[in-house]
Structure 1
Amino acid sequence: MDLSELHRDNSGSCRLLSAIPDACRSSECSLGIDEAGRGPVLGPMVYGICFCPLSKQQQLEELKVADSKTLTELEREKLFAKLNESKDFIGWALQVLSPNIISTSMQQRTKCNLNTLSHDAAIGLIQYALDSGVQVKEVYVDTVGPAEKYEAKLKERFPGLEVTVRPKADSLFPIVSAASICAKVARDHAVQSWKFVEDLEDLNLDYGSGYPNDPKTKAWMEKHVDPVFGYPQFVRFSWSTAQTILDARAVPVRWDDDEDGNKKDTPSVLSYFQRKTKDPKVQPHRFFTERKLVSLVNL
């Protein structure tokens, strides 16, 4: 898998694409959606789609694709190779969301939670397939959040498609299993070959699985926290695991607009535009009194 675009800049979001089979542009297709890396505190989250003509579903099933979480890394690699070998009727696309994108989105002033990021990535990939000429008829999605609400959201956005959103869809529908494998292989490769832009002394690349409950991951995060600059962009600093270590090991920071600040001493901007019901305590300038000018208290 070519990750050169991600390696050029792993601070944002990038899209990895296969060639689109001619068969997918001329025949009605099913499209599956799944993700990899939702829970880890390290590394990117990858959203994937896989599409295949409805007439080729039996051939897809013969590849014996399965939920990527039930497979070993070697098994996933072999199945991904088989999917690529079937490029005459199978295509895929991946959206890689960097840890930096995830954390800044979740902690910006107008917060964007992980479910919204996931939904937006899925919608963007479906739209990419449609814009590329894939004759999508059926869409199968592994749910994020309540399945009924997510399904209704996708049906409203894509009224011409038959959308099915289910929990554990990666174990129910082969086309979702295929998307799951593509996403997981891409994330594994991205984590293993991550390019650290920070100059870290004694960098240890043995950071385990990246999940918060992994002792290796916790030990790596303890070692590589900087008291001033925090973490390298490989870490999702919005995760509670990272926040706990930062609170204990890093220099405390207080922002002027902290939500827990002393608000009573700072009047709201809106207060300056409120209608006055009493005469102001401050006497007006003589310019106004000499000209018999008064402030209107009621309009």
Structure 2
Amino acid sequence: MTQATLFTTAGYAATEIAGVDEAGRGCLAGPVVAGACILPVEYDLPGLTDSKQLTAEKREVLYDLIREQAVAWAIGVAWPGEIDQINILESTYQAMGRAVRGMKVSPKFLQIDGNKLIPPYALKRDIPQEYVIKGDGKIPAISAASIMAKTFRDRLMIKLAKRYPGYGISKHMGYGTKAHMEAIKKLGPCPQHRMTFRGVKPEEKVAAQASLF
């Protein structure tokens, strides 16, 4: 049994703080997915850490344990059409805002993985927050949110792979691997591809989304 930090430097109780993280921001296909999670003071989540450091099997186990033990959790999604319309950074904000707003317990403080805060317009209210660089490996609630987002997205991409065969989506999960790039060249993009991303559309027609980061 692990005990969470009772108070942060901001003075909020652990059960008032939600960790927030995203998965799939850099992909060429599929949605960007955000997770938000509030952990209890005590929890039993063996091996809890950054989702990228875990195997898919370990993430699956922790995904179910987090859902059972969390004070509150939720998932937010922004699909490719929205990403192409408002750009990936704004879509990430929207997915994070949806995750936070979807929680059954409203957090009083947010800890966001990365180096940016969620704008109030995406949260639809003003919530005190801080960003934590590499927080998915430092803050348990962010680690849990990372696992929730990554696992939910992987499950979704496996389903989408059946709907859009030929791209190998269930293997690369939408990332720009060599095999994925070759499939796009051969088959053309499918409705789950982000049409404004470099590698999907010809270079001269691409909006430089990467410059947003």
TM over 0.5: yes
- d(CA) in 1 for partners of 2:160, 2:106: 35
* Aligned counterpart for 2:140 among listed residues 170, 174, 181: 174
Other-structure match for 1:59: 43
Of 157, 162, 183, 1:191 maps to 157
- CA pair 171-215 structure 1, distance change in 2 beyond 3 A: same
- Which residue matches 1:137? 108
1:66 shift after superposition? 0.8
Q: What is the CA–CA distance in structure 1 between the aligned matches of 2:151 and 2:195, rounded to whole Å? A: 24
**Number of equivalences:** 189
Give the Cα separation in 1 of the matches to 2:139 and 2:96. Answer: 17
Question: Equivalent residue of 2:83, what SS?
Answer: helix
Asked if 1 retains the 8 angstrom alpha-carbon contact of 2:24 and 2:32, the reply is yes
Q: Name the CA shift for 1:63/1:238 in 2 (closer, same or farther; >3 Å).
A: same
Match for residue 34 of structure 1 among 13, 21, 32: 21
- Unmatched segments (≥5 aa) in structure 1: 1-26, 106-111, 226-230, 248-299
**Corresponding position: 1:218 with 2:190:** no
What amino acid does structure 2 have at the position aligned with 1:173?
I
Give the TM-score normalised by the residue count of structure 1: 0.56
Partner residue of 1:68? 51
Which aligned pairs between 1:87-106 and structure 2 lie closer than 5 A?
A: 89-103=70-84, 105=85
> What is the letter of the counterpart of residue 96 of structure 1?
V
1:278-297 pair list within 5 angstroms: none
Please tell me whether residue 122 in structure 1 is matched to residue 96 in structure 2: yes
8 Å contact kept, 1:45–1:98: yes
- For the structure 1 residues 85 and 101, does the alpha-carbon distance in structure 2 shift closer, same or farther, using more than 3 Å as the test? same
**RMSD, matched Cα:** 2.9
Residues 45-56 of structure 1: pairs in structure 2 closer than 5 A: 45-52=32-39, 56=40
- Cα deviation, 1:31-57, whole Å, max 9, x if unaligned, reads 1110000001022211111123xxx33
Aligned-pair CA distance for 1:234: 1.8
- The share of aligned pairs that are identical, in percent, is 25
- Structure 2 counterpart of 1:206, from 159, 163, 168: 168
From the CA coordinates, give the structure whose radius of gyration is larger. 1
Paired residue type of 2:109: E
